[in-house]
Amino acid sequence: MAAPSGRFASSSPPREANAAMLSPSSPGALLPPSLRRGSVSTLGDKYSLAPIHDNGAPASRYKIAKQTTTCTTQTRDGTTGSTEEDPSSPAVVSSTWDVCSSSSGVAHAVRWVPTLELPLDEADRDAWRVPEMIHGFMGLIDKDTPKEAYTRKSIDDGSEWDLVFSDEFNVEGRSFYPGDDPYWEATDLHYWGTNNLEWYDPSALTTVGGNLKVSLSKSEPKYHELDYMGGMMSTWNKFCFTGGYFEANVSLPGSTKAYGLWPAIWAMGNLGRAGFGASLDGTWPYTYDTCDVGTLSNQSFTDTTPPGAHRNGDPGKNGELSFLPGQRLSACTCKGEPHPGPKRPDGTFVGRAAPEIDMFEAQVSGDYIGHVSQSGQWAPFNYHYEWFNTTENIKIYNETTTKLNEYTGGAYQQSTSGLAITNQECYTAGGGCFSVYGFEYKPGYDGYITWVNDGQPSWTVRGAGMGPDPRVELTGGRPVPVEPMYMIINLGISPNFGAIDWANLIFPAYMLVDWVRVYQPKDAHNIGCDPPDFPTRDYINTFIEAYTNPNLTTWVDDYGQSSPRTDLLTTATNLI
């Protein structure tokens, strides 16, 4: 990816380099960084996380042809019921695991947690259980959220929206180790995919003085053979939202007098677990529901058509447009192939994936000015990564503080990004103030994403900006993400992200988050990681090792699964 003047991110390892890397000797084992495989196809993914825990499972343990899965669900009257499913069938049945809302539309404290009867040891089961109440924090709205924050006006149309989730981080000394919090879970891993210099450890995240504190410290002696320790946590598979406004009040780490830190707050579709390459392989960063060449590997047919997929692409990949493996859960998927669903009335599948929207990635430039990249990641790609950034499709609210990023993509992702100058005082080692960042979005082809920097709208991209592109034979547009999205907060350091000002950086550095809040339109509440129209639970449970074994970096070669057959490459049909 581009240098700091463009995309604030790293470059992906070439395919040929990945092929030469060592594969794990034991797929369930947590390997040292030097022995881990790089992802062949998805880890242009700037957020390539390693494990939350090691399940010690053999590679074939969850292969769908070798076992069934029994799910036991507690209903609201306290009874239980179980169903045994043939995991070789497509998982299209919606789950009853969801959050509850009152008639007023405000979510409250009832939380029904399923027991997953999977071949896991006790430690693994514990990681899947979460308490119903912690530190007096119940339900989806933190009791400490001020009443005046229960509604807000939409940036787009001025309509009144409801608060559907909040965390004020006011309780002192909270823990985010697996199982300690109902919604957040910290990771325990080396962030090897982007050559990070730190180990992410749950001890680097806690609550202090009414804030979430995410630390990055120098480790003496080395910790897991690394010189630094940082923090990351997410709400994967615990809290998700579809559409709405996601915001956070943040004091960025360090100051504008030194560069090199990598803080971020962002969201990803629940069908991909950040850092677990097999789950991301063929899902990230797709957002596509059309059956055409855009769903295929390298975004081209075997006869190398269309020509636009092989010229004026990534200069670091000989001009090739895409090195993605193809959309694994596409609208072309044949009947009988594994797919989370749903199906249309004609029997064809809805295209599914794990898109990404970044609230911010922050960096200080070489001239010591703080910026944030506020972006969406997309696949398949436009010709030359040229999205349709016409005046109808974009809006920049203040051209003195925000400009379009010159970086628009590479062989692993296309990006729509705005670069915005931050409030230069709102850094923990600077003035110490807090600044509100966020993004408001409406899913769909006619949707939009509007980012917020320092409490003010920064820029907007409209869905039409990612419309069809005949130059690469994309007959459909890429909708603003329609998947249930989960939240991620992290602070790390990597030379892949940009230059590091070792002479002036001071450790420990830390980011403070005063609160996070999610709002949705009054008539369009849509929360939960397994909504009926975009289910995820059954598919995740069927392929659970892809979501829990970080050494499985690819779907086929490492995990040993097959790529679903598609109508574009076979004579199969999707008819019922």
Q: What is the pLDDT of residues 210-240, one digit of tens each?
A: 999 999 999 999 999 999 999 999 999 999 9
More confident of the two residues 443 and 84:
443
What pTM was estimated for this model as a whole? 0.79
The order of strands in the sheet holding 80-85 is: 80-85, 69-74, 115-117
Residue 62 pLDDT more than 50?
A: no
pLDDT at 100: 33
Position 559 pLDDT exceeds 50: yes
pLDDT of residue 335: 94
Q: What is the mean pLDDT of the chain?
A: 80
* Mean pLDDT within 248-259: 98
Beta bridge partners of 167: 516
pLDDT band at 275 (very low <50, low <70, confident <90, very high): confident
Per-residue confidence (pLDDT) for residue 493, from 0 to 100:
97
Over residues 85-113, the pLDDT tens digits come to 333 333 333 333 333 333 333 333 223 23
Residue 18 has pLDDT above 70, yes or no: no
In order of start, what are the domains of the chain with their CATH numbers? 15-299+348-547 (2.60.120.200)
Residue whose C-alpha is closest to residue 139's, from 100, 177, 174, 170: 100
- Position 570 scores a pLDDT of 59
Q: How far apart are CA 293 and CA 567, in angstroms?
A: 11
Residue 543 CA to its chain's centroid (Å):
18
User: Which stretches of 307-391 are assigned E, i.e. beta strand?
Assistant: 356-364, 370-378
Most confident of 55-59, 86-90, 142-146: 142-146
Output the pLDDT for position 64: 28
What would the two tokens of residue 9 be? 């991110």
Specify the range with the lowest mean pLDDT, choosing from 265-274, 329-338, 362-371, 566-575: 566-575
Q: Comparing 477 with 302, which gets the higher pLDDT?
A: 477
Over the stretch 168-187, which tens digit does the pLDDT of each residue have?
999 999 999 999 999 999 98
For the stretch 402-432, pLDDT in tens is 999 999 999 999 999 999 999 999 999 999 9
How confident is the model over 456-490, as pLDDT tens digits? 999 999 999 999 999 999 999 999 999 999 999 99
> What is the percentage of the chain residues whose pLDDT exceeds 90?
69
Q: What is the pLDDT of residues 107-138, one digit of tens each?
A: 332 232 332 333 344 444 333 333 333 344 44
Q: Quick one: pLDDT at residue 550?
A: 80
Instruction: Please give the average per-residue pLDDT across 361-386, as a whole number.
Output: 97
User: Could you give the C-alpha distances from 27 to 15, 52, 67, 546, in angstroms and in order?
Assistant: 21, 15, 18, 11
Answer whether 259's CB lies under 8 Å from 363's CB: yes
β-strand partners of 241: 485, 527
Listed in sequence order, the residues at least 6 apart from 36 whose beta carbon sits closer than 8 Å to its beta carbon are 21, 24, 50, 192, 550, 551, 553
Which of 371, 364, 370 lies closest to 501 in space, CA to CA? Answer: 364
Tokens of 235: 């709400």
Q: What is the pLDDT of residue 192?
A: 75
State residue 122 phi and psi, 5-degree precision.
Answer: -60, -35
104 Cα distance to chain centroid = 30
Assess whether pLDDT exceeds 90 at residue 276: no
Q: How far apart (Å, rounded) are the C-alpha atoms in residues 507 and 228? A: 9
* CA pair distance 485, 534, nearest whole angstrom: 11
Q: Which are the contacts of 429, defined by CB distance < 8 A and separation ≥ 6?
A: 253, 254, 255, 506, 509
For residue 173, how many other CB atoms are within 10 A of its CB?
A: 8
Look-up of token digits 């609201």: 76
Quickly state the pLDDT bin for 520 (edges 50, 70, 90).
very high
Task: Give the C-alpha separation, 306 to 470, whole Å.
Answer: 10
**Is the model's pLDDT at 442 over the cut of 90?**
yes
Specify the residue for token string 């975004």: 299
C-alpha 554/C-alpha 277 separation (Å) is: 6
Instruction: Output 530 or 10, whichever has higher pLDDT.
Output: 530
Within 188-243, strands assigned E span: 189-190, 198-200, 205-208, 211-223, 226-234
Query: Regarding predicted confidence, which is higher, 65 or 543?
Result: 543
- CA 68 to chain centroid, in Å, comes to 29
Return the amino acid letter for 427.
Y
Residue 393 has pLDDT above 60, yes or no: yes
Question: Residue 8 pLDDT > 70, yes or no?
Answer: no
Element (H, E) at 129: none
